[in-house]
């Protein structure tokens, strides 16, 4: 399925026109503000991420539409306030893309994507109104795992990284040993701190080996859900409650599900 540039522009124009009408005619749309839309925006992005991890093309299309609606809605509110409109948003994005890709639109030479990432951080530090520090562009509201990955990535892009990725395993072993030592003392605050260090070091492992830790963990979450659901469904078919089953019985069903997937 491929549409022409004109068809894409016309399709976006239809949505903009529809939103303009809804903003006037619909009581719900009319009363929305940046603040009221924010929780819904977060939910829509998570729903898109769920569709992406499942590689569910129909739902990816649907959720992209929902996210696009929010982009247009915030732009409409900005227009009503006299701050900006969707044209300003698009122009600013285009200018930023060109500025941040001097290897495409300028004379900068790069060898690979790693060079692009390193240049990216330096360029953002030079941008007007851009990040004042290397880690300044990491949103404070990001989930902790994603935040840790972005922090490490940004630090690495300015040279703060391991010489050899195999070296990170010594750090992992060190952090696990420190966590184990705190377990002996049962000091909850220190245990929590050391567990954070263990997790941070494992996220570093994922980054160095080209694995997205968030996606990796979510895939494990989905795998656990599928296998646990198998246990629950099998128990129901046998007329049993999970609470009435022994751990050995549940392990047997778990292994059945594991063999299937």
CATH number for the domain spanning 141: value is 1.10.287.1080
The verdict on residue 44 lying in a domain is yes
The verdict on residue 181 lying in a domain is yes
Instruction: Return the pLDDT at 109.
Output: 83
Residue 238 and residue 195 share a domain? no
Instruction: Return the pLDDT at 144.
Output: 92
Least confident of 64-68, 75-79, 109-113, 144-148: 109-113
Residue 195 and residue 144 share a domain? yes
The token pair that represents 116 in the structure block: 């692009």
The verdict on residue 104 lying in a domain is no
Give the count of domains, the chain.
Answer: 3
Among residues 98, 122, 152, which one ends one of the domains? 98
Q: Bigger pLDDT: 185 or 44?
A: 44
Residue 66 and residue 51 share a domain? yes
Residue 204 and residue 159 share a domain? yes
Instruction: Return the pLDDT at 217.
Output: 93
Residue 233 and residue 176 share a domain? no
Residue 242 and residue 222 share a domain? yes
Among residues 98, 123, 158, which one ends one of the domains? 98
The verdict on residue 113 lying in a domain is no
Q: Bigger pLDDT: 97 or 114?
A: 97
pTM confidence score: 0.67
The verdict on residue 118 lying in a domain is no
Residue 225 and residue 184 share a domain? no
- Examine the pLDDT at 120 and tell me if it is beyond 90: no
Least confident of 128-137, 144-153, 230-239: 128-137
Among residues 98, 115, 142, which one ends one of the domains? 98
Residue 90 and residue 150 share a domain? no
Residue 228 and residue 161 share a domain? no
Confidence of residue 129 (pLDDT cuts 50, 70, 90): low
The verdict on residue 166 lying in a domain is yes
The verdict on residue 206 lying in a domain is yes
Instruction: Return the pLDDT at 131.
Output: 64
Q: What is the mean pLDDT of residues 248-252?
A: 89
State pLDDT tens for residues 165-211: 999 999 999 999 999 999 988 889 999 999 999 999 999 999 999 99
State pLDDT tens for residues 213-243: 999 999 999 999 999 999 999 888 888 888 8
- Examine the pLDDT at 115 and tell me if it is beyond 90: no
Range of the domain at 139: 133-212
Locus of tokens 């026109």: 17
- Examine the pLDDT at 261 and tell me if it is beyond 70: no
Residue 146 and residue 69 share a domain? no
The verdict on residue 64 lying in a domain is yes
State pLDDT tens for residues 89-103: 999 999 989 988 888
């Amino acid at each position: 399925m491929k549409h022409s540039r004109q068809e894409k522009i016309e399709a976006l124009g239809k949505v903009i026109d529809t939103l303009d009408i809804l903003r006037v005619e619909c009581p719900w749309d009319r009363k929305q503000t940046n603040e009221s839309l924010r929780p819904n925006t977060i939910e829509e992005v998570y729903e898109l991420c769920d569709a992406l991890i499942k590689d569910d093309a129909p739902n990816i299309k649907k959720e992209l539409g929902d996210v696009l609606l929010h982009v247009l809605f915030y732009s409409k509110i900005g227009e009503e306030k006299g701050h900006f409109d969707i044209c300003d948003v698009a122009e600013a994005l285009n200018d930023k893309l060109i500025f941040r890709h001097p290897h495409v639109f300028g004379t900068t030479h790069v060898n690979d994507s790693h060079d692009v990432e390193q240049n990216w951080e330096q360029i953002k530090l030079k941008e007007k109104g851009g990040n004042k520090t290397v880690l300044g562009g990491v949103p404070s509201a990001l989930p902790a795992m994603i935040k840790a990955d972005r922090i490490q990535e940004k630090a690495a892009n300015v040279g703060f990284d391991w010489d050899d990725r195999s070296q990170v395993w010594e750090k992992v072993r060190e952090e696990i040993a420190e966590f184990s030592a705190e377990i002996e003392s049962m000091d909850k605050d220190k245990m929590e701190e050391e567990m954070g260090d263990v997790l941070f070091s494992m996220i570093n492992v994922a980054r160095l080996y080209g694995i997205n830790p968030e996606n990796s963990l979510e895939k494990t979450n989905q795998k656990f859900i599928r296998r646990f659901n198998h246990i629950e469904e099998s128990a129901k078919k046998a007329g049993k409650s999970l609470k009435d089953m022994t751990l050995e019985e549940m392990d047997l069903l778990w292994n059945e599900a594991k063999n299937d997937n």
